[in-house]
Amino acid sequence: MNLKPLQIGELQIQYPIIQGGMGVGISRSHLAGAVSANGGLGIISTAQIGYDEPDFEKDQEAANLKAVGKHIRVAKEISQGKPVGVNIMVATKDYPAYVRAAVEAGVDAIISGAGLPVKLPEYVGDSGCKIAPIVSSEKAARLMLRGWEKKYQRTADFIVIEGPKAGGHLGFSADNVEKITSEEYDGEIGKIISTVREYEERFSRKIPVIVAGGIFDHEDICHAISLGADGVQIASRFVATEECDADERYKQAYIQAKKEDVEIVMSPVGMPGRALRNAFVKLIEKKPLPVSRCYHCLEKCNPAKVPYCITKALINAVRGDIENGLIFVGDNVGRITKMTNVHDLMMELVQGKQAIPSHH
């Protein structure tokens, strides 16, 4: 199947593939810039993005906000001006400040999940920055679209539907996430798309729908498009690329992981997450790890009550401390078996099996 470009307002993305934002530090300027340079839409995750900045220990928020601007600029240099987006979790402490920092740096699009970005239109104002909520159910889609219409007389520029096979935090109960079948979820995707179509009519404009979670190859992309989607968001597959911003050991953990190494864990964010069952996960299942230092990363987190500090666990992971870190993965991580680069991966996704790698 020939994939059509993704049109988001005046932004044109050559291939309808968005690289999902991955915190902490997994998708920053190098990965996102490379994806955009190769015809997709690269997404930087702002979650603790400044973790390796010299002033992070002193004032993590100031370091993060500075790093947001820096990474957007670097990504746009790499992409040679092609659109680049950010992913900002609604649960982030001082969420509006991150939105403003991204808009100021000239980001082209903001995708927000881990909560409903009810006030996002207000924070981006009339900057022209494209905005998209991440939803996992028809109910959430309707709530978002109705809320934005009522309060701001506007609608989403695009919408991301994230299913139960995604990596990182999941918009489902821990029970449901493992029970829902692909067929059932395809039905939900259909319902969400119908809801979005109502809003397209009301606003006389196209609202592209992007499907995420467990998309592995060209065939999966075609399947999402056959359901009525305009594009896909893929995250896990981009980890085992040369350009991914994580430590080499993190990428190797993905390559080595088998299907049975994946587990649903509870996160201080208050949502279940999908991660590798490593020494860290086994430890927190037995007893909570006291939080020795709070990074004030989440709007709602009580360090005295949570089973572990998610910022510390994710920073350990991105730095390559594979046993003491929390390694978020998508359900299909077991199918990733080799290292590649963004160009070859994009070509494989776009063309299917006949893709001929340029090098390696």
Q: Which residues bind ligand FMN (CB under 6 A)?
A: 20-23, 26, 45, 47, 87, 89, 113-114, 134, 162, 165-168, 212-215, 233-236, 328-330, 332
Specify which residues 262 forms β-bridges with: 276
Q: To the nearest whole angstrom, how small is the minimum distance from the Cβ of residue 51 to ligand FMN?
A: 13
Q: Torsion angle of alpha carbons 4, 109, 157, 125, nearest 10°?
A: -160
Report helix, strand or coil for 161. Answer: strand
Q: To the nearest whole angstrom, how small is the minimum distance from the Cβ of residue 22 to ligand FMN?
A: 3
Q: To the nearest whole angstrom, how small is the minimum distance from the Cβ of residue 133 to ligand FMN?
A: 10
Q: Which is nearer to ligand FMN, 22 or 229 (CB)?
A: 22
| b/e 129-164 (16+ beta carbons within 10 angstroms → b) | bbbbbbbbbbebbbebbebbeeeeeebbbbbbbbbb
Q: Which is nearer to ligand FMN, 103 or 317 (CB)?
A: 317
Q: Which is nearer to ligand FMN, 50 or 213 (CB)?
A: 213
Q: To the nearest whole angstrom, how small is the minimum distance from the Cβ of residue 343 to ligand FMN?
A: 18
Q: To the nearest whole angstrom, how small is the minimum distance from the Cβ of residue 228 to ligand FMN?
A: 19
Q: Which is nearer to ligand FMN, 39 or 213 (CB)?
A: 213
The structure tokens 């597959």 sit at 237
Among 43, 6, 345, which Cα is nearest to 157's?
6
Distances (CA, A) of 230 to 13, 35, 82, 252, 352: 11, 18, 19, 32, 18
Q: Which is nearer to ligand FMN, 16 or 330 (CB)?
A: 330
Q: Which is nearer to ligand FMN, 39 or 214 (CB)?
A: 214
CA distance 253 to 333: 10
Length in residues, the chain = 360
Tokens of 98: 């991150």
Q: Which is nearer to ligand FMN, 30 or 165 (CB)?
A: 165
Among 36, 28, 111, 50, which Cα is nearest to 80's?
36
Q: To the nearest whole angstrom, how small is the minimum distance from the Cβ of residue 134 to ligand FMN?
A: 6
Q: Which is nearer to ligand FMN, 149 or 252 (CB)?
A: 252
Q: To the nearest whole angstrom, how small is the minimum distance from the Cβ of residue 48 to ligand FMN?
A: 9
CA distance 219 to 238: 17
Q: Let me know how many helices (H) and strands (E) the chain has, helices first.
A: 12, 13
CA distance 8 to 192: 18
Could you please report the per-residue DSSP string of 180-198?
Answer: --HHHHHHHHHHHHHHHHH
CA distance 149 to 239: 36
Q: To the nearest whole angstrom, how small is the minimum distance from the Cβ of residue 230 to ligand FMN?
A: 16
Q: To the nearest whole angstrom, how small is the minimum distance from the Cβ of residue 183 to ligand FMN?
A: 18
Q: Which is nearer to ligand FMN, 79 or 332 (CB)?
A: 332
